[in-house]
Chains A and B, each alone.
Chain A
Amino acid sequence: MIAGKQLIILVLDIALSAIVIVAFAWVVASTRRPTAQSAVQSGGYRLRRSWGWFYGVLLAGAFTATIWSIPYAWAQPAQGSSDPLVVHVVAHQFSFTMPQRLPADRLIKFVVTSSDVNHGFGIYDPQGRLLGQVQAMPDYSNVFYFTFRQPGTYTIRCMELCGVGHSDMFQKLAIYPTQTGSSAASLPGE
């Protein structure tokens, strides 16, 4: 089932592509009633100016809107201060060294690195939807904050070609419900 961010992306992609396709079809159809270039050029230049301004404003708006929800720790100071559960992940050819069970509704600070080549660390929910990811790089530790909202069996999957066993590099992760009254329940929400 397509939901969440993927749904937004799909709708945006289809809508924008459809506008472009219609514009092309319209221009192609217009060649059935040809006219002199001078008859269309000045109008076209005016349209180009409006389109240029519109597109520029659109991009500036998209940039401003998106930089508020980037996943990096430096951009999410509230997460760093809220007592997360620290989980170390080491990726190898072709497995992850990490806990097999983690609590739901608890902010988790994944510290992800690799012992050999570049790997990825992608989190898939029980329905198989990709929820987020980070790269696992040798020599560096990537800090990735994440909260599992639903208990269930998740899948961790490598997202970077890492060698001959890349396709087999995935493992299950059990997310168990947090009991009410535990310390996790008192964590501030995001």
Chain B
Amino acid sequence: MQAIAPEPIELHGAEAGLTPRRMVGIGLVVGLITIYGLAMIGGTMKAAQGNLVHLAPQTFYALLTLHGAGMISVVVLLTAVAHWYFLRNLLKLRVEVLLFSVVATVWGLLAAGAAVLGGGFGPGWTFLYPLPFIGTTWPAWSTGLFFIGVLFVGIGFAIFLLDILAGVIREYGGILQGLAFDTFFPKLRRPGKEVAPPTVIAATMVALDGLLTVAAGTVLVVALLARWASPTFPIDPLWIKNLTFFFGHTIANLTIYLSAGVIYAVLPAYTGRPWNTNKIYTLSWATSLLFVPWAWPHHLYMDFVQAPWLQLFGEASTYIATIPSAVVTIFGALLLVYRSNMRWRIGSVFFMAGLLGWLVGGIAAMLDATIPFNDVLHNTLWVPAHFHTYLLGGVFLFVIGFASYFVGEKAPPRAIVKVWEWLFFIGLVGFLLMFYAGGIDGVPRREATPPTPGPQLAAIATGFVVILLLGMTALLIEIWMRARRHAITGEGEGL
């Protein structure tokens, strides 16, 4: 993606030709290529479950581990890069810091990839203790290398978050102002400064909860590395299970909040209507900040020894954490679009579809997070059904939408693009429906050879994966070709 557009304002550290725009372009290309590879792995696993190809169980679980760990990391990377694109002007961020954080993440992914593909490390991306150490089919070095890889991804994310937090404090005077509490207490506001826009509020929330998550993730990985270095190191299985899901759930969840920061910035461009901060946004994001980190106990409902208050608080927090999304962000997006002069482009179509995926996946997630339902849904295909709905059918759609917005889309798309979009969405919905059907039928997740009707559903799902990948390839080529054209005409982002 060379020299896409003349840079309107040059802020900091753009030496050596690394403009913020080029950096974001690099991040997108690296991330999307990685997603491609990991999606192929996902399709291969489906085909293996459907008895269309043969995979040895240890290969299946190794690929499962890489698919999960890789997708979470790369989705964090892509949403972070997209959010950064809008934050860089608001917070005067430096491009070198983003570069460093992307490089650390890529190194981490490479290490984890080497551990899995070279060593066959395969306890799933949640690497639930003591599975990485007992009854293993992989060498010890791959266990250590994988955790070191996770540590690098954490370092990359920590740099990104710390830089954003520092930027918020520099520009708005503090964290409270970053969360727009000056809508309630105007005295907090810096003289001559406007209230923080929703994009910045989202960034402040993600930075705070993200740093908490990285802190927990570091303790988790250090404990596992300690156990790896000295087998006598004691670990309480319930404690580390809580820590694992505190880290894993929250980091996956934060990708949607990073995306929200992008939605706040992009939808106004497509609708031609401003999206402003008011007291409701302050309250809403404060609620997310407080309750998102407390939703993790819903992963431990079937651990009956867990403290009762955590079980009940987990259900309540999960419910409460949906209020800001359902009542403020998604409702606000619909209100912004309602009877607007929306310009329908690949970007706007994918942002709207992504919001829908976020909600539909959220509904399935809430059913699963309800204790009396969880005993027939926990660890069935219902779980990957709901998180594929909001990660693949939500966050990833925002990423494609952002890519399309980023290369600029003044002109409406060619007629053939409709076909690509239909292919993509038919593949997506069919693929997801097979997951839901398996979940309602009680087929366990993470099975190399699942019980009936798992194989039948997986075989059908493989067909939908092929359709999905065809549509996705065509759409990304379309966006790429547009980027090349705009490199010549000099057309920049947006409409």
Contacts and interface: CB of A to CB of B under 8 A. Distances in A.
Interface of A: 2, 4-6, 8-10, 12-13, 16-17, 20-21, 23-24, 27-28, 30-31, 33-35, 37, 39-41, 44, 48, 51-52, 55-56, 59, 62-63, 66-67, 69-75, 93, 116-118, 120, 122, 124, 128-135, 137-144, 157-168, 170
B7 interface: no
B319 A161 contact: no
A62 B241 CA distance: 27
Contacts of B442: 6, 122, 124, 128-130
A71 B131 contact: no
A135 B58 CA distance: 23
Contact of A33 (B137, B331, B336, B339): B339
A76 to B, nearest CB: 11
Interface string B423-464: 000000000000010001110101111111000000000000
Given A44-B338, A71-B304, A161-B446, A5 B323 contact: no
Contacts of A28: 337, 352
B9 interface: no
A93 B134 contact: yes
Interface in B348-385: 352, 355-356, 359-360, 363-364, 367, 370-373, 375-380
A18 B295 CA distance: 26
Contact of B341 (A20, A31, A163): A31
Given A73-B304, A93-B134, A130-B442, A159 B379 contact: yes
A62 B370 contact: yes
A13 B315 CA distance: 18
A161 B123 contact: yes
A116 B135 contact: yes
B337 A27 contact: yes
B342 interface: yes
- Kindly list the 9 A-B residue pairs having the minimum CB-CB distance in the complex, ordered from nearest: A130-B442, A34-B341, A31-B342, A44-B335, A142-B304, A161-B446, A167-B449, A159-B379, A52-B327
Nearest to A48: B331
Nearest to A53: B327
B130 A27 contact: no
Contacts of B367: 9, 12-13
B316 interface: yes
A116 B446 contact: no
A34 B336 CA distance: 11
B369 to A, nearest CB: 10
A165 B61 CA distance: 10
B308 interface: yes
A166 B373 CA distance: 24
Contact of B131 (A63, A130, A161): A161
Nearest to B278: A45
Contact of A160 (B128, B130, B328, B352): B128
Contact of A140 (B237, B323, B372): B237
11 contacts: A5-B372, A13-B363, A17-B363, A21-B356, A34-B340, A40-B339, A41-B335, A71-B375, A120-B302, A141-B305, A163-B131
Nearest to A28: B352
Interface in B11-65: 57-58, 61, 64
A117 B377 contact: no
B379 to A, nearest CB: 4
Contact of A132 (B136, B376, B444): B376
The CB with the most chain B CB atoms within 10 A, among A37, A51, A93, A161, is that of: A161
Nearest to A92: B135
B311 interface: yes
Contacts of B444: 120, 122, 157-159
Contacts of B136: 163
A13 B450 CA distance: 24
Contacts of A166: 57, 61, 446-448
Contacts of B327: 48, 51-52, 55
Contacts of B135: 93, 116-117, 163-164
Given A24-B334, A161-B131, A132 B375 contact: yes
B303 A164 contact: no
A130 B331 contact: no
Contact of A66 (B280, B323, B370, B448): B370
Interface in B294-336: 300, 302-305, 308, 311-312, 315-316, 319-320, 322-323, 326-328, 331-332, 334-336
Contacts of B328: 48
B352 A37 contact: no
Nearest to B133: A117
B360 A17 contact: yes
Contacts of B447: 166-167
Contacts of B122: 164
A162 B64 CA distance: 13
The CB with the most chain A CB atoms within 10 A, among B124, B376, B448, B449, is that of: B376
A71 B371 contact: yes
A63 to B, nearest CB: 6
Contacts of A133: 302, 375-376, 378-379
A115 B376 CA distance: 24
B236 interface: yes
B241 A118 contact: yes
A54 to B, nearest CB: 9
Nearest to A1: B441
B304 A170 contact: no
Given A12-B367, A93-B134, A130-B442, 13 more contacts: A2-B440, A5-B373, A20-B359, A31-B339, A37-B340, A40-B338, A55-B326, A129-B442, A131-B376, A133-B375, A133-B376, A140-B303, A160-B379
